[in-house]
Amino acid sequence: MNLRVLVVDDTIMYRKVVGDILAEMPGVEVVGTANNGRIALTRIASLKPDLITLDVEMPVMDGLETLQEIQKNHPDVGAIMLSSWTKRGSDITMKALELGAFDFIPKPDAEAMQANVQLLKGALLPRIKAFAKRLELKLLLKQTVRPSGAASPAAPKPVVTTAAPSRRTGKSKAVAIGISTGGPNALTKMLPQLPRLGVPIFVVQHMPPVFTKSLAESLDAKCQYEVREAEHNETVRPDVIYIAPGGKHMRVAAGQGGTKVIQITDDPPENNCKPAVDYMFRSVAREYGALSTGVIMTGMGGDGTLGLRVLKSFGAVTIGQDEESCVVYGMPKMAAEAGVVDVVAPLQSIASEIVRTVR
């Protein structure tokens, strides 16, 4: 079956460009367009889309208000947000992702129109493929649902997945987390569960500039930890969560008097990512060795697997999110298949697994 998509944007140009890009994709059917959220809501019932591309900033009803109504009345319809690079656009986008939007795409701002079209195409294609795969998995799960009246299955428990888990002695002095598609929603659920543990937490969330600042501000309001976008050469402190700034790499380095400092660099992308999880994981392995915890969570691609291999070679404990709770089971899957994950855990158990490694 074709993936049915409704394109919602207040500008004719973006409706046309996004619609044309989607129409060229095999297995995708553009079922309609709308120029604001209110009109989109009236068309969902008749057009029955599986997915909506949803502009963040629109008159009459903006993307966030529209998403809230969709989730209330049409919970099976997914959304990919299209956002401007403004602070307001990034703040609204972050709220949408925390509510459960599948992903977002910043609207390109190249001078040449054709360059913008190619950037949009390159961003849309992998997200559409990932959403279609997720939808297929959900349909398969529905077909195998337990009969009415059957006992509910027990809550999933973490399982050891490597033959030789870490045999280190001592507690973790740092936690490093790599995450991508589905990250803001997952982090919003997981990080507030963490008590203050007296250790720093380093997070690479694949995002462009501006958006990581909004993510840090949003999480800071919800967590017991202080959450901040990391700055170059700042001293690492306990009970702080450092978010790598979009468009830059983040690494940990040795400072004066036994301290650790954060370095923000403009080194080339790794795995087509900047910031890259592998880049950050390697530095944590170098600075904290066996006394660290590496966590890989929902996301497309394989960024983080090589970094986890380095962490594990030093004796660190490694944790991966399970398939069922991932928005996209890409990064954790590759790490698990490579044998560099000690524990596979559902999202609701990751915080307790982190606490276990520190305490």
Residues with catalytic annotation?
A: 180, 206, 303
Look-up of token digits 């060229």: 24
Q: The tokens of 55 are what?
A: 């502009």
Helix (H, G, I), strand (E, B) or coil at 212: helix
**Calculated CA dihedral for residues 157, 158, 159, 164, nearest 10 degrees:** -160
* CA gap 274, 282 in Å, rounded: 15
**Alpha-carbon separation of residue 121 from 118, 127, 310 (angstroms):** 5, 10, 34
Q: The tokens of 145 are what?
A: 């649902």
| Phi, psi angle pair for 3, to nearest 5° | -80, 120
Cβ pair 326, 332 in contact under 8 A: yes
Burial class (CB in 10 A: 0-12, 13-18, 19+), 149: exposed
Q: The tokens of 118 are what?
A: 């190619």
Cβ pair 298, 326 in contact under 8 A: yes
Cβ pair 179, 207 in contact under 8 A: no
Q: The tokens of 200 are what?
A: 């720093």
Cβ pair 280, 312 in contact under 8 A: no
Cβ pair 202, 294 in contact under 8 A: no
* CA gap 81, 106 in Å, rounded: 8
Cβ pair 201, 175 in contact under 8 A: yes
| Phi, psi angle pair for 297, to nearest 5° | -125, -175
Q: Which of 15, 86, 16, 19 is nearest to 55 (CA)?
A: 15
